[in-house]
Amino acid sequence: MLKFRVVWLAVLLLMWASRGSAQFAHVEHKQIVDAAGKPVLLRATNLGNWMVPEGYMWLFQGGPQSPSEIRALVLELLGPEASAAFWQKYRENYITRDDIALLHRAGFNAIRVPLHYSLFESDDAEGFQLLDGLIGWSRAENLYVILDLHAAPGGQTGTNIDDSAGYPWLYQSPQEQEHLMAIWRRLATHYRDEPAVLGYDLLNEPIPPFPKLANLNSALEPLYRKMAGEIRKVDAHHILFLGGAQWDGNFSVFGKPFDANGVYTFHKYWTAPDESVMRQYIDFRERYDVPIWLGESGENPDEWIAQFVKALEKNNIGWAFWPYKKMGKPSAVVSIIPPDDWGKIVDFAKLPRGTGHAEERLKARPEQETIARAFAELLERVRVQECRVNEGYLRALGLKADIVAVGAGEAAK
């Protein structure tokens, strides 16, 4: 009788797990499939510059690049109260329901969301409020959401993109690794029952291709295993996306897959737009019978993007191009029109920083009225209704190009 009860309990647990898994997209051999088992070829964009600002998307080439550097500039220009209010409004305006509705109309079926760990330090942190809204809109528009930890505690790259201190201490600091585990436990606990979340991209572009950092490669997969173990304690259903070393480009750091619901992701910029640059990843897919996914590409002419999309889809590889929105340049879904006096902000941003340069910076500082007006205009111009839709870029992606940015109510009509 005892054996019978144990077996019956095991059957019940299996049935419960199966019912839970049936609600979620998941991995089957070399493919990502939806809850019904139908293959899904991801066509996504990246919401870069929203929670993780990057200097080049503010036209700050030669100036501040990391989120912390940009925040320091805004603090210097606006002051404590106004800069705090600016960032709250910036995040509210940069991505709204109207942005997600536009992406749906264009034909995307997913979005990848770069996250900064500092926005998820508590269960009621601002990051969760922003993500909850985004996921609700995405669910309504039938878009999957991939959560990408772009800026991890301690830094996984040591460069501007992870907002680190200039060296990737994450791989050698037990304190920062525990901090990382706490962030992912919190995220996984919050979203474990949300089918609109496709999965978790554990670390964006770990370990740059700098010779002095090559010795960190051997630490990457063990760290992934540790993260996966912590996530699986609270979330058995969501896909885990694992990027290779050297900007998500090097899969030689991986051994045999250790999670049955994992996808391996690579990034490619400024390469030949053909099968030759994806051959090593295709071979990895065949060897281990797992899906692969292009998590980032772009920042190239439309002709290059069109060729690369065709090559990817010919090889049954889904994609997420970078980015959705940025200032000035047409290599995005939509472009932000720079504020009228933005050139003065850019010129000031490029001056040497630090208190040792305080006098020179004061001499070159724009008038406060000009500063306030430029940042107020920026808050309006990041709204999708004020942006320019780049039809050539959308056509290059094979998506619908004749779309306009409208309000949610108008879109519903």
Going residue by residue through the chain, which has 413 residues, state the pLDDT in tens, using 9 for 90 and above.
544 454 444 433 344 344 444 599 999 999 999 999 999 999 999 999 999 999 999 999 999 999 999 999 999 999 999 999 999 999 999 999 999 999 999 999 999 999 999 999 999 999 999 999 999 999 999 999 999 999 999 999 999 999 999 999 999 999 999 999 999 999 999 999 999 999 999 999 999 999 999 999 999 999 999 999 999 999 999 999 999 999 999 999 999 999 999 999 999 999 999 999 999 999 999 999 999 999 999 999 999 999 999 999 999 999 999 999 999 999 999 999 999 999 999 999 999 998 999 999 999 999 999 999 999 999 999 999 999 999 999 999 999 998 877 654 454 44
Q: Residues 266-291, buried b or exposed e (16+ Cβ, 10 A)? A: bbbeeeebeeebbeebeebbeebebb
Q: H helices within 214-333, ranges in order?
A: 217-232, 245-248, 279-288, 302-314
Helix (H, G, I), strand (E, B) or coil at 275: helix
- Rounded to an integer, what distance in angstroms lies between the CA atom of residue 237 and that of residue 184? 14
Look-up of token digits 């210097």: 76
pLDDT tens-digit readout, 372-396: 999 999 999 999 999 999 999 999 9
**Residues making up the chain, counted from first to last:** 413
Q: How far apart are CA 334 and CA 18, in angstroms?
A: 41
In one letter, which amino acid is 68?
S
What ranges make up the beta strands (E) of 103-143?
A: 110-116
User: pTM (2 decimals)?
Assistant: 0.92
Axis crossing angle, helix 97-106 with helix 126-140, rounded to the nearest 10: 40
| CA nearest neighbour of 332 among 134, 22, 20, 45 | 45
Beta strands 334-336 and 388-389 are antiparallel
Instruction: Give the pLDDT of residue 403.
Output: 87
